[in-house]
Structure 1
Amino acid sequence: MSTWLIVGIIVLVLGLIVSNIMLLKYSAKLPMKKGSTTAKDDSDAPR
């Protein structure tokens, strides 16, 4: 394998890792919506 191919693969892998870390840091700051806490349950239904 040529040196440039190895360097290119390493750069691509490092770019993927860095971009995923940046995405995790960004998504951690986003507000989360609370879902519905009232679940329909068969035990609550009148008979």
Structure 2
Amino acid sequence: MFQGIITTVLMLLFLAGWAWAWSPRRKRDFDEAAQLPLESDEENTR
């Protein structure tokens, strides 16, 4: 019984994290973060 509750809670946390990551409101933040390695390379080569 206890293991089923833990499994359910962990699955709900996983689904909440997945929904947060794929939320359209987060797209701009993730796009900016994806560009960070490219921007730092440009600054280091100058």
How does the TM-score come out when normalised to structure 2? 0.53
Q: Distance in 1 between matches of 2:21 and 2:9?
A: 18
Q: Distance in 2 between matches of 1:13 and 1:25?
A: 18
Number of aligned positions between the proteins: 33
Unaligned runs of 5+ in 2: none
Aligned-pair Cα RMSD in Å: 1.9
Structure 2 residue identity aligned to 1:8: F
Percent of matched pairs sharing the same residue = 3
Deviation at 1:27, TM superposition (A): 1.2
Q: Distance in 1 between matches of 2:18 and 2:4?
A: 21
Larger fraction in helix: 2
Q: Name the counterpart of 1:22.
A: 16
> Larger Cα Rg: Structure 1 or Structure 2?
1
Structure with bigger RCO (C-alpha 8 Å, 6+ apart): 2
